[in-house]
Amino acid sequence: MTLNPWYRGRSLVWDTTVVDTFTESHYIVSAAIPGSVATDAETEKCQKYNDLLDNYYFQPVAIETTGVYGKSTAPFLSCLAKKLVDISGGPREGQWLHQRLSLAVVRGRAGEPLQKSIGSSSGAIKHSSTSSSSGAVNF
């Protein structure tokens, strides 16, 4: 949640989700329409946080593991990148935001083969098709 008002006097609240494009339930749809799985995840997040809409500006952030942003995520990140540039004065801050997000997605995917192999043999670790982080993206 932002400390300062973001839009129309309301603070911004966001929930970030990275959707695995290659799970059985997603790969056919994502191959046909890039970004559709992320856009569906955005819709689910909006429904989940519907009660917050009266007091806060809610923004779902959904990224597919292939790096494709959801329909409302791309313009939001562009706006956020512009604000970073304006506040910091660094002309490359916006590019760095997108690079950090890409690295976070790649790092999240790095452990998946191990998780899948352990999950299939012992059942102790189960692979999730969606990972979520509420509030902020950690860099």
Give dist(CA 117, CA 63) in Å, integer: 24
Nearest CA-CA partner of 91 in 100, 99, 81, 101: 81
All structural domains of the chain with their residue ranges:
12-127
pLDDT in tens, 67-111: 999 999 999 999 999 999 999 999 999 999 999 999 988 888 776
pLDDT band at 139 (very low <50, low <70, confident <90, very high): very low
Q: What one-character-per-residue DSSP string does 35-64 give? A: THHHHHHHHHHHHHTGGGTTTSEEEEEEEE
Given a contact cutoff of 8 angstroms between Cβ atoms, the answer to whether 85 and 94 are in contact is yes
Place of tokens 């995520």: 73
Place of tokens 């409302």: 72
Give dist(CA 53, CA 114) in Å, integer: 39
- Arithmetic mean of pLDDT, 23-35: 85
